[in-house]
Amino acid sequence: MPRRRIALTTLVVRDYNEAIAFYCDKAGFELIEDTPISGAKRWVVVAPAAGGAALLLARADGEAQAARIGDQTGGRVGFFLYTDDFARDHAAMIGRGVRFIRPPVREPYGVVAVWEDLYGNRWDLLQSAPPA
């Protein structure tokens, strides 16, 4: 059976550089690739330091795409950043200026808090509950 995985998820952004700055300087991601393609278009990939799935930061091309910036999931949490140490990462992100819109809560599946990126896309920061 073939081995497959989801490697990239596209996130439509207003500007490459401001998105890179937010995700790398505030959210703590790493810049994996920033390659010019043609004209002003670039292939920009960021990912959490631990690896796994990554984000392709795609600058909006036209009004229809620009209208989706910050609302790619209709106001729902659409992205999930798992951590092995919730308290460490939550404190670090707050210290770097990330805006949390819901405080940490314990759920049956773990500890979770909701934060927004620079455009208003909602993310969960979560640490899974230990197995029972």
CA distance 71 to 120: 7
Residue given tokens 């690739």 in the structure block: 33
| Per-residue model confidence as pLDDT tens digits over 73-115 | 999 999 999 999 999 999 999 999 999 999 999 999 999 999 9
CA distance 75 to 77: 7
Instruction: Provide the pLDDT for residue 132.
Output: 60
**Confidence band for 56, pLDDT divided at 50, 70 and 90:** very high
In a domain, 2, yes or no: no
| Res. 28: pLDDT tops 80 | yes
Q: What is the CATH number of the domain that holds 41?
A: 3.10.180.10
Q: How many domains does the chain have?
A: 1
In a domain, 73, yes or no: yes
**What is the three-class DSSP state of 93?**
helix
In a domain, 3, yes or no: no
CA distance 127 to 85: 7
